[in-house]
Amino acid sequence: MGIEFENEKRIFTLQTDHTTYQFQADAYGFLLHLYYGKTVYGGMDYLLTYYDRGFSANPYDVNQDRTYSMDALPQEFPTSGTGDFRSPALTVKNSDGTYSCDLRYKSHRIINGKYSLPGLPAVYATEDEAQTLEILMEDAVTKVQAVLLYGVLPKYDIITRSVKIINQGEEKIHISKAASACLDFVSGDYDLISFYGRHAMERNFQRVPLSHGKQILRSRRGTSSHQYNPAMILAEKDTTEESGNCYAMVFVYSGCFKAEAEKDQFNQSRALMGLASELFSYPVGPGESFLIPETVLTYSAEGMSQLSQNLHRCFRNHLCRGKFKNEVRPVLVNSWEADYFNFTGESLLKLGREAAKLGIEMLVLDDGWFGERNDDNTSLGDWVVNEKKLGCTMGELIGKINDLGLKFGLWIEPEMVSEDSDLYREHPDWALQIPKRHPVRGRNQLVLDFSRKEIRDHVFDQICSVLDQGKVDYIKWDMNRSISDIYSSETKEQGKVLYDYVLGVYDFLERLLKRYPDTLIEGCSGGGGRFDAGMLYYTPQIWCSDNTDAIDRIEIQYGTSFIYPASCVGSHVSAVPNHQTGRVTSLNTRGVVAMAGTFGYELNLGLLSDKEKEEVKDQVKKFKTYAPLIQNGDYYRLSDPLKDELGAWAFVSEDRSEALVNVVMLKQHGNMTVNYVKMRGLVPEAYYRIDGHDRLYSGAALMQAGLPVPIESGEYLAYQKYLRRVEQ
């Protein structure tokens, strides 16, 4: 189906519908990368060149052949200790203190279906949708083995990579660096595209030349972080949205990561994606194994729109799980910006009554419902309902909300503990903190040691006792600080704590999903601090950012769209002046921007005017109409909001019969010039009608010439146009 093996030259070819990935186990057992790109035929080993490169070391078993050097040859899984002085994918510290691992090809097998990774998130597929290639490599001296895993999903032009390290030797080893994917290019001139940020301004688009030396993106914060997203794109210099060669690497993991890209001395390029090597030294005893989290690869010869759509389709259909992955999500109102901590049971019911009148489907109770939690300094870890504050039990509140015709959702932050809490007073050793030192605080809270099962069990039981009090249709899982004090009282191997912590989070989420399969979980970490493919395996939507300002959100959602589908982007209409920026935008503009995601509200509905309430009713109806298209359609970026006078994007159905075009004016000037938005993804020879208008437009005209944006007085005006193909 997607994997071929040519026995004579030992060449492996991974074919998808539009791409070829090829590598070779050569005569010495080294695994050499040959090609990744647009579909080709035949062996690509002719691309390998051999010259005597001064100061490039040669493996001992090539004898006097100075033309053979791992320092110059492209590789599938480069390791430390082979004479390759570029960045390795794997570094192993052996029991004698040496850093050396020389892996050679031993065998392989091809399996129908997609491999899975016990305890870790991964892309999944059935036997008729994917194939798996397993390559067994071994170090002849230490007997350390590496099983290289390749998953091929032809329909999506997706190749996944992971590695299982097995210690078949007699001594403990430590893994100090582990990447699951390496791309080596013998030629080409690339730009590196990454997504940097900070709290409340995540995933900013950055494109810079890949230059000599090493460029590193990483998180050392215990999570994938607001600062750098665990994804990157290599694009040839002339690549645009519609044309050019580009490659994406996305890490399916929610903890510390490192992405590296470098141009070497011979103008070759290498890109790596894997675990962060800082604060990491994982012990693997005899007979034990270690899994490196998965990296998703995709390639497009038709520019970055196609690259993004490959990822979007894969993540929607083969990473997100459960009943909600393809369902339209309920329109909700969250209590946070309506009341913050200052709610009561009656104020929540009042918010619910307003929501029900407007067609909103769910009320979410955010932070402040447990312990003595009236600010963010106390009670995390004490997951006991504050019935005095609510004026009733949680079950009674849920019943009253349900009686209004609304679903009910609840905010939790299971990984955290306040020093001012019963849990911390009883179990201070359950928090991650270094002995004999004062802990580093973040938001006046500490982090529970989720690498320990008994701690996870305690928190899980407490939270379930609350969830079991009524029908909770939605959980918002938050995580509001970075991890700084890396010490667990239960192990002497502190270099394993952060990895085991993430496995603990995944274990907790998996148990929650199994116990409550009909509950939608939304991920959150101060907004977008853990917005990654790993979390999508458990939470099919993630709160995009704590910044709900519509204009900032255009930039945040623009960067997010390069990797992640709109169906997973938590996005709400909030109050004005905006609580983060003070900016004032119209309700229409806020609605158009929020509809590029799961859609909801984050404000006090009772403060809206009658006119605004009617507008909210209309927005809810529109979203429910357009939601299947937004959730499952192909996403097109129609402008660059970092440079252009407007932000524009569109959703186009797979059969090209309908489209939703969205435009927000970002700049306004005197004697304004006309902007034209050019559509993409339509059928050129077909005709389309804009909803509410009689005129027909050819797909070719809309894509080549575009639609003029009206010149109107006002700031941040927004327009939304629904197009339907007319059958003739």
In the set 532, 546, 602, 634, the catalytic residue is: 532
**CB 588 within 8 Å of CB 623:** no
The SS3 call for residue 584 is coil
**CB 229 within 8 Å of CB 203:** yes
In Å, how far are 188, 240, 273, 372, 547 from 32, measured between CA atoms?
18, 30, 18, 60, 46
CA distance 272 to 250: 10
Alpha carbon 188 to its chain's center = 28
CA distance 630 to 653: 9
The SS3 call for residue 24 is strand
Beta-bridged to residue 273, according to DSSP, are 181, 259
**CB 72 within 8 Å of CB 30:** no
Report long-range pairs for 456-459 (Cβ below 8 Å, ≥24 apart): 456/504, 456/507, 456/508, 458/423, 459/381, 459/383, 459/414, 459/508
Place of tokens 């110059």: 72
**CB 290 within 8 Å of CB 493:** no
CA distance 292 to 284: 13
Residue 362: name the closest of 405, 397, 412 by CA.
Answer: 405
Residue 210: name the closest of 157, 166, 247 by CA.
Answer: 247
Beta-bridged to residue 58, according to DSSP, are none
Q: What one-character DSSP code corresponds to residue 566?
A: G
For helices 550-561 and 587-594, give the axis angle rounded to 10 degrees: 20
Beta-bridged to residue 722, according to DSSP, are 660
Torsion of CA 52, 56, 59, 62, to 10 degrees: 0
Residue 163: name the closest of 202, 187, 136, 183 by CA.
Answer: 136
Residue 637: name the closest of 653, 661, 658, 657 by CA.
Answer: 661
Place of tokens 């403060």: 607
| φ, ψ for residue 324, nearest 5 deg | -95, -5
Respond yes or no: is residue 52 known to be catalytic.
Answer: no
Q: Please tell me the chain's helix, strand, coil percentages from 3-state DSSP, rounded to the nearest 5.
A: 20, 35, 45
Rg (CA), the chain: 27
**CB 364 within 8 Å of CB 409:** yes
Tokens of 53: 């490169």
Respond yes or no: is residue 454 known to be catalytic.
Answer: no
CA distance 32 to 48: 9
In Å, how far are 350, 411, 621, 683, 715 from 608, measured between CA atoms?
13, 25, 18, 42, 21
CA distance 384 to 365: 15
In the set 612, 644, 645, 715, the catalytic residue is: 612
In Å, how far are 36, 467, 566, 635, 709 from 563, measured between CA atoms?
20, 33, 10, 11, 28
Residue 351: name the closest of 367, 364, 369, 370 by CA.
Answer: 364
The upper half-sphere exposure of residue 409, i.e. CA atoms within 13 Å in the direction of its Cβ, equals 25
Catalytic residues: 532, 612
